[in-house]
């Protein structure tokens, strides 16, 4: 059985990458080991910053290691990551290495060459190159690139990476027997509470000032901007159109008994885990048509709607339309519309790539 080493960094323990790695360990027969470098949210206070993440269960016991140390200087962090990775690869046998970030691909390619080991290196980007999370040119150094969305595939082609090195490799989701009725007047947002930046909740709040229907958006999650978002909702006179379930929940969907739809207003994504999870329950989704991710799931009018990111009037119109008319597919149809992303299909894709 092959041993696959996954190298990550700055994992909060609560994000999409962590969920995917946990699912892989729970389901796949392959021997997977995860090396998580500098766990937790990056912080520049002091000479070094060490903060234990609240969730370490995404790496099962005996199947990986969390490295806690984080220097305030990113260069020092990179050097420490390089040293730790070198020592691991020098003293452990692995059959292939999967790197989630472009900088990791850079130094891991050099380490493998220095050690003179015949180990295939896979890049596994989980965000668009627009995210600013490193120089995506580094993915050229990988032997192959696992692309979790078709948008990321196009970005890799745009960088000049050959088609034979690019693999469409979307993340897995669990098919569930649970159905969530698309009734009532409550829509949902699930995830990090961020006013601007990636999650771009301001766009949703501004759209709510134009929505004509009597709807409510329930925000499930947490983040540094939660109080500011509440104040902004009061300022915009839409406080009656929002509600909040504060906290990080292992399964936020248990809090939802019915939903008119999930709303996502991200500026960039990779393949949004929250969309796959919602649709696996039969919940339709409204999402920004950001460059990578949502379009892999959403078929306009069938299982959800895409709107042009930044077009607040269009978002407001789509929310009203979904409330009044819904989508053409029933709950079971929404679930079946993403059957390619369920775990049994993922196992086939995984075996094709790694065996």
Note the pLDDT of residue 3: 94
Query: Is pLDDT above 50 for 47?
Result: no
In the chain, where does DSSP find H-type helix?
A: 16-27, 74-91, 102-114, 150-158, 201-208, 226-235, 273-280, 294-297, 312-325, 331-336, 343-354
Q: Which pair of structure tokens corresponds to residue 160?
A: 């000049």
- Domain pair 3-172+343-354 / 186-336, same fold: yes
Is the pLDDT score of 290 beyond 70? yes
Q: How confident is the model at residue 49 (pLDDT cuts 50, 70, 90)?
A: very low
Lowest mean per-residue pLDDT among 12-21, 38-47, 122-131, 140-149: 38-47
More confident residue, 133 or 222: 222
Residue 307: name the closest of 167, 195, 207, 219 by CA: 207
User: How distant, in Å, are the alpha carbons of 50, 54, 76, 81 from that of 71?
Assistant: 8, 20, 6, 11
pLDDT(310) > 90: yes
CA distance 337 to 141: 35
Q: What is the rounded (10 degree) CA torsion for 98, 101, 102, 104?
A: -60
Whether the per-residue pLDDT at 102 is higher than 90: the answer is yes
Predicted confidence at residue 55, as pLDDT, reads 65
> What local confidence, expressed as pLDDT, does residue 41 receive?
60
Rounded Cα–Cα distance for residues 174 and 339 (Å):
10
Q: Residue 276 contacts by C-beta under 8 Å, 6 or more apart in sequence?
A: 171, 173, 297, 338, 341
pLDDT tens per residue, range 160-205: 999 999 999 999 998 889 999 999 999 999 999 999 999 999 999 9
pLDDT at position 50, please?
46
Residue 143 pLDDT > 90, yes or no?
A: yes
Which of the four pLDDT bands, split at 50, 70 and 90, describes residue 53?
Answer: low
Does an H or E element contain 188, and which?
A: strand 186-190
Which residue ranges make up each domain of the chain? 3-172+343-354, 186-336
* Class for the domain spanning 3-172+343-354: alpha beta
Percent of the chain with pLDDT over 90: 77
- pLDDT at residue 56 above 80? no
- Which class is 186-336 in CATH? alpha beta
């Amino acid at each position: 059985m092959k041993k696959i080493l996954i190298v990550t960094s700055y994992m909060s323990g609560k994000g999409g990458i962590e969920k995917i790695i946990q699912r892989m360990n729970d389901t796949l027969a392959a021997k997977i080991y995860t090396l998580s470098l500098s766990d937790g949210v990056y912080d520049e206070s002091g000479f070094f910053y060490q903060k234990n993440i609240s969730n370490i269960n995404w790496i099962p016991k005996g199947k990986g290691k969390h490295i806690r140390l984080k220097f305030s200087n990113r260069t020092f962090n990179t050097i420490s990551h390089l040293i730790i990775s070198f020592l691991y690869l020098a003293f452990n046998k692995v059959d292939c290495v999967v790197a989630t970030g472009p900088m990791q691909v850079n130094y891991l390619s050099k380490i493998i060459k220095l050690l003179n080991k015949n180990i295939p290196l896979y890049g596994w980007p989980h965000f668009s190159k627009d995210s600013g999370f490193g120089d995506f040119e580094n993915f050229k150094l990988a032997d192959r690139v696992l692309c979790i969305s078709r948008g990321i595939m196009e970005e890799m082609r745009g960088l000049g990476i050959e088609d034979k090195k690019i693999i469409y490799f979307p993340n897995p989701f669990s098919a569930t027997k649970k159905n969530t009725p698309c009734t009532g007047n409550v829509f949902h947002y699930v995830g990090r509470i961020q006013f601007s930046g990636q999650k771009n909740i301001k766009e949703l709040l501004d759209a709510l000032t134009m929505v004509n229907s009597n709807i409510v958006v329930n925000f499930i999650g947490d983040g540094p901007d939660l109080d500011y978002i509440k104040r902004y909702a009061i300022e915009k006179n839409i406080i009656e159109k929002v509600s909040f379930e504060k906290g990080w929940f292992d399964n936020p969907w248990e809090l939802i008994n019915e939903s008119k739809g999930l709303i996502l207003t991200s500026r960039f994504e990779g393949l949004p885990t929250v969309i796959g999870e919602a649709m696996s329950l039969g919940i339709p989704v409204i999402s920004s048509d950001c460059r990578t991710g949502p379009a892999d799931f959403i078929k306009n009018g069938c299982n959800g709607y895409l709107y042009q990111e930044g077009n607040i009037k269009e978002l407001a119109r789509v929310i009203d339309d979904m409330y009044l008319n819904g989508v053409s597919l029933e709950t079971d149809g929404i679930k079946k519309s993403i059957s390619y992303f369920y775990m049994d299909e993922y196992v086939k894709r995984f075996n094709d790539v790694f065996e």
